[in-house]
């Protein structure tokens, strides 16, 4: 068989056709412009995704904050219910001792609720004054050593390890100085006689 009569495969024919066809020239400006447009579209998509992420994060944070406030108020509702009951008893002229006992029970319920949500009431009386959790509103002499909280004017509260409100306290300056004993007025006159002097 001669080369002319020899069948050619399709792959060989395509290669020969490419060699015979003139090479297309690619415009470098058009290629760069197309690449720029691709990057610009990708950057715009990324900015839109970032903006959507920010909006979603703000929305989720607001929803979480709202849910946390709702949960806390739901925990406090029994305290408010009991305070309203106490108010009704006062209006009916109930016994003062019974009302006092009821208020004491409501305060206990409030403290239990506070502990349940992760908080606690500060009990500063007898502790050393700590400016990180105490706010001194006065100083006074007391039987306690100087620098120790002698009295609490307003309760302080913590939530976890964060201070919600500092306790307003009165700080001891130590025991009061004993008054100097003075001599009776008659003795003083006897000692000082201007006519003798």
Q: For 76-95, what is each residue's pLDDT tens digit?
A: 888 888 888 887 777 777 67
Write the CA distances from 5 to 1, 8, 13, 20, 158, integer angstroms: 6, 9, 14, 21, 99
Q: Kindly list the domain boundaries of the chain, sorted by start residue.
A: 14-117, 118-178
Q: Supply the CATH classification number for the domain 118-178.
A: 2.30.22.10
Q: Residue 24 carries which DSSP code?
A: P
pLDDT at 1: 47
pLDDT at 185: 55
For 14-117, CATH number out of 2.60.40, 3.30.160, 3.90.20, 1.20.1050 equals 3.90.20
d(CA 19, CA 79): 92
Model confidence at 14: pLDDT above 60: no
Which token pair is 79?
A: 């305290």
């Amino acid at each position: 068989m001669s080369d002319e009569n020899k069948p050619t495969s399709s792959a060989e024919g395509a290669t020969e056709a490419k060699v015979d066809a003139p090479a297309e020239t690619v415009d470098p400006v058009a290629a760069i412009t197309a690449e720029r447009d691709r990057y610009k579209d990708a950057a715009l998509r990324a900015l839109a995704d970032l903006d959507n992420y920010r909006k979603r994060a703000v929305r989720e944070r607001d929803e979480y904050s709202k849910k946390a406030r709702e949960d806390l108020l739901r925990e406090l509702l029994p305290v408010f219910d009991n305070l309203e009951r106490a108010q009704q008893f006062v209006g009916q002229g109930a016994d003062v001792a019974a009302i006092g006992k009821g208020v004491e029970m409501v305060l206990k319920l409030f403290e239990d609720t506070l502990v349940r949500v992760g908080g606690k009431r500060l009990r500063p009386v007898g502790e050393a004054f700590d400016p990180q959790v105490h706010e001194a509103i006065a100083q006074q002499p007391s039987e306690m050593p100087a620098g120790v909280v002698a009295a609490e004017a307003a309760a302080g509260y913590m939530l976890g390890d964060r201070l919600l409100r500092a306790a307003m306290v009165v700080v001891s300056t130590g025991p009061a100085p004993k008054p100097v004993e003075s001599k009776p007025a008659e003795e003083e006159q006897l000692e000082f006689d201007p006519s003798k002097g």
